[in-house]
Amino acid sequence: MSVPKIDFNDLRSAIRDVPDFPKQGIVFKDITTLLLDTDKFHAALEAMADRIRTISFDAIAAIEARGFIFGAALARQLNKSLVLIRKPGKLPAATFREIYELEYGTDSVEMHRDALTPGSRVLIVDDLLATGGTALAACRLIEQAQSDVAAVLFLIELQFLDGRNILKGYDVISMISYDAE
Ligand code: AMP
């Protein structure tokens, strides 16, 4: 399959800004428009795969829900197993759980207790890094399973929310970065 050379401005233009979603004042980065464009979607996956090719890891852990799209495609392309990090109450077998703070209240993520062999090196994947709370909870789930985070990979980073800071100590990789809303 031939994939055109990656133009990051082109990728950026395929991501739609939706103001005031899911609430007033948030500009939502909508990747559904990128997914509709086969060339750009494939180029985004190719860029992500290229960037992690030199990192040694055993499994990809993808964060619900949009992380599943990129995580599954990369797991297929790089021949890695795929672990699902899900919202509470969705996984059927015994789970580890991490609770994390939101602006108002808390949320949590879960992973099956038997998803990883202890000592695994895991690449975490999500579509977007905002404040970093979700990704940090994902890192802690991997560590609860006695495994190591090899890197945390995002298609998009909202730099102005400083998620990297909360993820200090982890290798944080993003393909497209926005420094202002
Ligand atoms: P955070 O925990 O603040 O880093 O939020 C990350 C999660 O929320 C990711 O799974 C994103 O898909 C989603 N998210 C947060 N902010 C946005 C935004 N402005 N546009 C799209 N998705 C977002």
CB contact set of 146 (below 8 Å; sequence gap of 6+): 116, 118, 119
Mutation to probe ligand 1, out of 128, 157, 179 (largest number of atoms < 8 A from CB): 128
58 neighbors 81 (Cβ within 8 angstroms): yes
Compute, in angstroms, the gap from residue 142 CA to the centroid of ligand 1: 20
Other C-beta atoms lying within 10 Å of the C-beta of residue 22: 7
Burial class (CB in 10 A: 0-12, 13-18, 19+), 27: middle
Full pLDDT tens readout for the chain, 181 residues: 555 567 888 899 999 999 999 999 999 999 999 999 999 999 999 999 999 999 999 999 999 999 999 999 999 999 999 999 999 999 999 999 999 998 789 999 999 999 999 999 999 999 999 999 999 999 999 999 999 999 999 999 999 999 999 999 999 999 999 998 7
12 neighbors 23 (Cβ within 8 angstroms): no
pTM score, whole prediction: 0.96
The helix/strand/coil state of 115 is coil
Sign of CA dihedral 121, 125, 130, 136: negative
Compute, in angstroms, the gap from residue 1 CA to the centroid of ligand 1: 31
Residue 148, φ and ψ in degrees, nearest 5 = -115, 145
In DSSP terms, 108 is beta-bridged to 99
Give the position, in ligand 1's atom list, of the atom nearest the Cα of 28: 20
**What residues line ligand 1, using a CB cutoff of 6 Å?**
26-29, 63, 66, 126-135, 163
